[in-house]
Structure 1
Amino acid sequence: MSTTTADHPATGRGAAWKEAWRDPSLHMQRTLAMVLLLCQGGITVTGSLVRVTGSGLGCNTWPLCHEGSLVPVEGAAPWVHQTIEFGNRLLTFVVGVAAILVLVAVYRAGRRRDIKALAWISLGGVVLQAVLGGISVLLDLRWWSVAVHFLPSMVLVWVAAMLYMRLAEPDGAAPTRRYPARAQHWTVIAAVALCCVLVTGTMVTGSGPHSGDSGVGMDGRLNLDTKVLAYVHAVCMYLYLISTLITAVLLHRTGAPEDARRTSWILVGLILVQWAIGVTQFRLGVPRWTIPAHIAMSSTVVAFSAFLFSHAKRRLPTLV
């Protein structure tokens, strides 16, 4: 008696996957891009867990975990610290795989040049981040090396968010302005303010109590008043909030497309949540549990800022 592919579900699924990869659908491309975006944001949260648990030197060298060993070594450091730091390093490979899958998908689908460029930046950024993370370990987590490791992650979140949006656009269409130029100018001003927020935020962290490793203490920390830096950080945040509010109002008054207006108001709400977390940190003396939440919201805010920015000009389907 003969059998068909349908008689063997595993074989059928394998054939279906092979066929899907031969010419990835738009849905598949965007799903992979969303996975990449979540990975880029997620690894910043696991990185913050490394910091608040003092596990930054759980693996004290790079690319090995310890001298002569790729994996944790019993007794070389507390096992909890080794597990957290080594786990965070392994997640880099997960992000890398997601970036590779996106790159392969857009090439096999024959997408346009700017989409391929964003996919290459995402993959190259993962490699760069692995190197920067290793350098920060070799420098015993000096504050500026940790900042240099964190800030590119925010850039990669922005790139992944832009990639997710651009993938939805037809390649053959021309870019169309979807809201007034003055509103777009305010999105640029907001983006600049966001950069200032992120940079000053790393400075606040660099002068604060959480060095990333319990044995480092305040050695290599930023020798500036944390309270003053927190006020500077807050001013930058208010400028970012105000410029985003102005953008949202302009979009509302000029009758911009609903998706752009909705994104702007969601972003305003996210900034307010981030503000509340920041105020809580300041009032409570930066308790450990608030840091992962603050970092997670940073990635979320950056992603929605990129969404809003990308709404300004989009390639729309041609109506027949």
Structure 2
Amino acid sequence: MPLQRLPLPTIRRQRLYALLVLVAQAGIAVTGSIVRVTGSGLGCETWPQCHPGSFTPVAGAAPALHQAIEFGNRLLTFVLVALTLLLFLAVVRAGRRREIKVLALISGLGIIVQAVIGGVSVWVDLKWYAVALHFLPSMLLVWIAGLAYVKVAEPDDGAVTRTYPPLLRRLAALCAAAMTATLITGTMVTGAGPHAGDATVAPEDRLNLPIVDLTHVHAGFMYLLLGLVIGLIFALAVSEVDSAAVKLGAWLFAMILIQGGVGMIQYWNDVPEALVPVHVAGSGIVTGLTAVLFALGLRRIGGAATVTGSTAGDAEHAAAR
């Protein structure tokens, strides 16, 4: 079907699609953590099939609950594909600028790459490094979705404007770097921790490093991130920039504190299963907020394409009225 037959999406609708993609990208990481803490990682023992000769669960091939959880997580991939396709078609139909189309395309292609990485992690029987490499790209896709959420709201013909000083945007980039280090060390803590993803995973397939030391390194990067965010908030406040950035920084600060609190409770209580998805959800929220805060530093301001975001789309919308 030619794209011209599709409804012409407004900026508001495009942003809704971008928000849904952002939530779904973070959400599928949470369902993946549920797979891990319930020991359902090999509920489907192969990929892309669930079991040899069958794409769906097979009675008796593995515990029914484990099969249901792992297969359900795989099905969510198709929901995410549908949402990213919806966003991509919307921005292409509206004739949005190249930057936005690329972000939407990467979001969709990234899901396919993630599915392959997930399949590889099953093929190698959930070795810790494979599980880590499955989680980290999810956070990268959350970051990209956060950028897209900001960019689709900007008219394509607006003037590229620094909404806060270049030095502060570099500080926002440092926050992103500290967050990345926190995420990486967090996967290492997970790799050495008690939740392997399946009861059959051998000890030699786990990360055999002292979990206490890894936890301290992970916490150290979290404190670094917290300090950088505090510095950024104060710098934004005294620079008299858009109050939205300051408010968003405050939300990011609060979420990091909550994440730190959840992490401490996990550490003191031998990583209870119920808190793992909560901690993963917090990681997605922190990543998304950091991405949006970074994107707010360089925006397109003004412009006349306020309906669909593109001049061509707005002209078509006006002609159809």
Q: TM-score, normalised by structure 1?
A: 0.92
- Number of aligned residue pairs: give it: 302
**Kept in 1: contact 2:186–2:218 (CA 8 A):** yes
Question: Per-residue displacement from partner, 1:31-77 (whole Å, max 9, x unpaired)?
Answer: 11111111101100000000000000000000000011110000000
Q: Secondary structure at the match of 2:87?
A: helix
For residues 153 and 302 of structure 2, what CA distance do their matches in structure 1 show?
10
Whole-angstrom distance in 2 between the partners of 1:52 and 1:21: 42
Q: For residue 216 of structure 2, what is the aligned residue in structure 1?
A: 231
Name the counterpart of 1:278: 263
Out of 27, 47, 50, the residue aligned to residue 42 of structure 1 is 27
Cα distance in structure 2, aligned partners of 1:111 and 1:155: 23
Partner of 1:168: 153
1:66 aligns with 2:54: no
Give the number of the structure with larger relative contact order, counting CA–CA contacts within 8 Å between residues 6 or more apart.
Answer: 2
1:87 aligns with 2:72: yes
Q: Structure 2: which 5+ runs fail to align?
A: 305-321
Partner residue in 2 for 1:309? 294
CA distance in 2, matches of 1:78, 1:149: 24
- Asked if structure 2 preserves the Cα contact closer than 8 Å seen for 1:115 and 1:166, the reply is yes
Contact 1:203 1:222 in 2 (8 A): yes
CA distance in 1 between counterparts of 2:5 and 2:248 reads 31
Pick one of 158, 180, 205 that aligns with 1:195.
Answer: 180
Aligned residue among 188, 207, 210 for 2:192: 207
Give the alignment partner of residue 100 of structure 1, picking from 74, 79, 85.
85
**Alpha-carbon distance in 2 for matches of 1:41, 1:210:** 20
Q: Considering only aligned residues, what root-mean-square deviation do their CA atoms show, in Å?
A: 1.3
- Shift of residue 21, structure 1, vs aligned partner: 3.4
Task: Give the distance between the partners of 1:294 and 1:109, measured in 2 at CA.
Answer: 37
Are 2:271 and 1:295 equivalent residues in the alignment? no
Q: Deviations over 1:148-192 (max 9, x none)?
A: 110000000000111011000000112101111221111111111
Instruction: Assess if the C-alpha contact under 8 Å between 1:162 and 1:310 holds in 2.
Output: yes
Contact map agreement 1:200 1:232 (CA 8 A) in 2? yes
Distance 1:121 1:297, change over 3 A: same
2:137 counterpart residue number: 152
The aligned amino acid for 1:272 is L
> Following TM superposition, where does structure 1 have runs of at least 4 consecutive aligned residues deviating by more than 3 angstroms?
18-21
SS of 1:22's equivalent in the other structure is coil
The whole-number CA distance in structure 2 between the counterparts of 1:306 and 1:260 is 12
TM-score, with normalisation over the residues of structure 2?
0.92
> In the alignment, what sits opposite 2:38?
53
> In 2, are the aligned partners of 1:55 and 1:81 still within 8 Å (CA)?
yes
Match for 1:259 among 244, 252, 275?
Answer: 244
Asked if 1:135 is matched to 2:101, the reply is no
Corresponding residue for residue 14 of structure 1:
none
Between the aligned residues of both structures, percent identity stands at 48
Give the whole-Å Cα distance in 1 for the aligned partners of 2:49 and 2:194. 27
Question: Structure 1: where are the runs of 5+ without partners?
Answer: 1-17
Q: CA deviation at 1:215?
A: 1.9
